[in-house]
Amino acid sequence: MNGSAVGAAFTLDRFRLDDRIAIVTGAGSGLGRVFARALATAGATVLCADIVASEAEKIAAQIVEQGGAARARHVDVTDPESVDALMAVTARDYERLDILVNNAGIASVARRLHELSISDWDRVQAVNTRGVFLCTRAALPLMLDRRTGSIINLASIAGLGGISLKLSAVAANYSASKGAVIALSRQVAVEYAGDGIRCNVIAPGWHLGTQLGREALPPSEEALGRILANLQSSTPMGRTGDPEELAGLLVYLASDASSFMTGQVIAHDGGWTAW
């Protein structure tokens, strides 16, 4: 993430995150837990931020028990004061921020656009789009001070193209929010590249076992079975992903191993977008 990496011979040390300070939003569940553990395993001190403080405390405690460095932080990514407070505490305690993972996200029950409620539209946009904007906006001054940083935003393959409701529980509000995250990330990448700050996007395909997945998928076993069968048959690899499979990609984007990469959207989808 800094100029010293330029011209250096390749070494696995470039994947290390020792002495880096990282914030992961939505760290209390699903992909957030995977990301927090992965960054800590690579050597970072991880601030596990979540709207549910008790869940943030659980993952931070797990990381510490396993020999890593982590602290729990409460944050509501839709609230500017809450986000600013998170960054203020980070500045006070560490005087820096090297990695920001904007992972917090929600979905709603899937309905076609003409049946979608305004409240469901606004709720999803508030977390998925406004939350990324607020956290990035508040984090950038901490990165600008040192002219280095990696911002990793979580979008979705739903932000890359339309998806039939017959295949999943993704609705227009979710797809629109993730498309906005992609556009915002590219703009951030261009605006701050000259300041040594990189911004990239992970666009996951179907990784089940997350809080988001439980919220969006139907409750009945029969309906869930139909959707899973559709997802598997529509994915070239013939299966859905495991959240843990995203850990390596995240560490790569956070580390000096990706020092010349910015403004990129990487679909992690078992070949879904390759059809």
Residues 50 and 56: beta-carbon distance below 8 Å? yes
Residue with tokens 């500017």: 80
CA dihedral sign of residues 12, 14, 20, 21: negative
* 99-102, strands of its sheet edge to edge: 69-74, 45-50, 21-25, 99-102, 149-154, 197-204, 265-268
Q: How far is CA 138 from the centre of its chain?
A: 16
* Active-site hit among 94, 174, 192, 252: 174
- CB-CB neighbours of 218 under 10 Å: 14
Instruction: Pinpoint the alpha helices (H) of the chain.
Output: 30-41, 53-65, 80-94, 118-125, 131-144, 172-192, 211-216, 221-233, 247-254
- How far is residue 229's CA from residue 40's CA, in Å, rounded to a whole number? 35
Let me know if 192 is a catalytic residue: no
- How far is residue 176's CA from residue 162's CA, in Å, rounded to a whole number? 10
What is the set of active-site residues? Answer: 174
